[in-house]
Amino acid sequence: MKQTFVEKFVANKGLPNEEFSLKIPDNTTLSIDLKTTLDRIQKEGLNTEVKKVLKKGAFRNASAEICLRVFEGAAQRFLIKDFNNELADKIIQLLEKVHTRKNTVYLAVANGNGQEEFEVTFKNNDQILTPYSLINQETQNSLMFTKRELIEYLMTKDIREVL
């Protein structure tokens, strides 16, 4: 059987069968390894989408650690969908919008007395440990996150809408 571009990429980079995990609201940890992630990418017809990302020049000479982040992102999508498909759609929509950085992205989250609104920002810089931030529009307080922390935080919230 012919290898896909994604499978060849993983083999050529010598990526280890890393395990990716997310903590869900009940403090259980969901996890998926690289091999299972690759199988799901294939099964769900996402090879072309992943190939487009990997063909970008940034990944040609990138370290295995940086290349694994692409697959960690795919794994996180699968884990969120397995947890709650409806919530997954909102979180994925938010991440896609914030990654384009064309417009300001706002998030409305239900709370005890109505809703809170946050501006969501992303700094595309591998040197920054917490590139995501949520800025409360009322108090201007800011919360900083890694992608994994942001996803885990959002999984505990009742997301009303992504603007």
- What residue segments make up the domains of the chain, in order of their start? 5-83, 87-162
- Is the pLDDT at 151 greater than 80, yes or no? yes
pLDDT digits (tens, 9 = 90+) for 4-63: 999 999 999 999 999 999 999 999 999 999 999 999 999 999 999 999 989 887 888 889
Answer yes or no: pTM beyond 0.85: yes
Q: Which residues of 42-64 are buried (b: 16+ CB within 10 A; e: fewer)?
A: eeeeebeebeeebeeeebeebee
